[in-house]
């Protein structure tokens, strides 16, 4: 699945266009490499997102095209540095 779509479906970022823009600005990394919106994400990948002064680091646990809002947090595990 594309990283921009994964970020939206997992609700890490609210809209796909915002996820795409974050990737274009170099604020999203997959396995410590800057991600383009079209980069594929796989189970086990580590995603880092820079939100202003804070960073979010998560590990991909599952990938699904559609997920109910309540189950979205089950798609990843938050990691600490």
Residue-wise pLDDT tens digits, 28-53: 999 999 999 999 999 999 999 999 89
Token couple for 1: 């699945």
* Homologous superfamily (CATH) for 3-78: RNA-binding S4 domain (3.10.290.10)
Domain boundaries, the chain: 3-78
Could you say which DSSP state residue 74 is in?
A: G
Output the pTM of the full model.
Answer: 0.91
DSSP 5-71: HHHHHTTSSS-HHHHHHHHHTT-EEETTEEPPTT-B--TT-EEEEEETTEEEEEEE----S---GGG
Burial class (CB in 10 A: 0-12, 13-18, 19+), 52: exposed
pLDDT at 56: 94
């Amino acid at each position: 699945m594309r990283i921009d779509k994964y970020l939206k479906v997992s609700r890490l970022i609210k809209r796909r266009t915002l996820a795409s823009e974050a990737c274009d600005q170099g604020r999203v990394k997959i396995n410590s490499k800057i991600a383009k919106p079209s980069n594929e994400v796989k189970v086990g990948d580590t995603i880092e997102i820079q939100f202003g002064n804070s960073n979010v680091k998560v590990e991909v646990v599952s990938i699904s095209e559609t997920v109910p809002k309540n189950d979205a947090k089950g798609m990843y595990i938050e990691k600490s540095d």
